[in-house]
Structure formats: C-alpha cells, structure tokens
C-alpha cells in the first residue's frame, strides 16, 4: 500500500513540513482525528488542516487575503468557513486554520485530494520537535507511518489572521 492510499484510509502519520514535524491524518476521518487528540492529550482545541489545493480553500472558506502571498509557505491562515458546520469535528467554531507547506510531503496530500490534519508532534503544551529522535515513545508507538527527512528548522508556522502575521 502506498502513502497516498494510507492518507485516504485515515492512517496516522508523523510527517515533515516546511517548519516542524507534524502529526496528522485524513481530515475527513473522525475516528483518526479522535486518536490524534488522545495521543496529544489535546481535548477540545481546534485543529488545522493542510489543504489539498488552493481551489479547495476557495471552495470552502471565505478568502479575505492574497493566498499567493502566503501559500505555499510556513503560514497557517485562519479563515472563516463558508458553512459553519464544515469540518466541525476539526474546528467547532466558524474559523479553520489552513496551510499548504512548501515541502515534498505536501505533494502526497495534494495527490490524495483530501484535507489533512496538521498539528505539531508534541504533547499539548510541550515544545514542537525538530527531529524524529526527539519524539517521545508514548507518541511514536501510536503512529501508523513515520516519514523522516532529517532535522527541520523547528520554528512553528506563522499565524495569519485578517492579513496580520503573528509569530508563534
């Protein structure tokens, strides 16, 4: 089974982005998302997604900024959903964090044609990891697929709200 099929099936991944390692799964798979929340000890905080395309963003979210300025790149855009119930199991409010990282793994997500959960690989409240070797075993042991490309920059993505950049 190839990685694209594993994405579509809802397997849980640790994967590289253009900033840090993330943990994620098919954003349409509620069961896998619940597993991620348990793994991260992250109860009801909203999650973000890696969009499969700019077109997907335009179809589902209200665009109030120049997407080409930020995507692909190390940004998480906080955009208003066209339908508040859209991906409610990911974010139960009217906003959704969306990314398109500038890295090779993003190409697999785009080929899978599904939105993909993206959250840092760490327990809630702990610093994000830059290397696979830094990931606690209590997380690693619950993951289906680990994509290791070596050390990453270690800086979380910059949050963009209404065109304002907020460093994290």
Phi, psi values for residue 22, rounded to 5°? -115, 165
CA trace torsion 102, 75, 138, 40 (10° rounding)? -140
Q: Does residue 1 have a pLDDT over 70? A: no
Looking at residue 153, its pLDDT comes to 82
Q: Determine the Cα–Cα distance for residues 147 and 29; give it in Å rounded to an integer.
A: 20
Q: Does residue 162 have a pLDDT over 80? A: no
Question: If you average pLDDT over residues 59-65, what whole number do you get?
Answer: 95
What domains does the chain contain, in order, with CATH numbers? Answer: 3-162 (3.90.870.10)
pLDDT cut 90: percent of the chain above it: 77
Looking at residue 43, its pLDDT comes to 74
SS3 151: coil
Q: What is the pTM of this model?
A: 0.93
pLDDT in tens, 3-54: 999 999 999 999 999 999 999 999 999 999 999 999 988 778 899 999 999 9
pLDDT in tens, 76-106: 999 999 999 999 999 999 999 999 999 999 9
Res. 155 pLDDT band, cuts 50 70 90: confident
């Amino acid at each position: 089974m190839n990685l694209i099929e594993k994405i579509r099936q809802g397997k849980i991944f640790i994967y590289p982005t253009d900033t840090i390692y993330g943990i994620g799964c098919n954003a349409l798979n509620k069961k896998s998302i619940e597993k991620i929340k348990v793994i991260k000890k992250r109860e009801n905080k909203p999650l973000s997604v890696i969009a499969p395309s700019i077109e997907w963003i335009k179809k589902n979210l209200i665009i109030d900024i120049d997407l080409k300025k930020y995507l692909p790149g190390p940004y998480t855009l906080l955009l208003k959903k066209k339908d508040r119930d859209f991906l409610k199991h990911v974010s139960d409010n009217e906003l959704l964090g969306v990314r398109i990282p500038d890295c090779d793994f993003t190409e697999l997500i785009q080929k899978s044609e599904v939105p993909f959960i993206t959250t840092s690989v760490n327990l809630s409240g702990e610093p994000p990891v830059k290397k696979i070797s830094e990931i606690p075993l209590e997380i690693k042991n619950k993951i289906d697929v680990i994509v290791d490309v070596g050390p990453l920059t270690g800086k979380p993505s910059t949050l963009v709200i209404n065109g304002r950049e907020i460093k994290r």
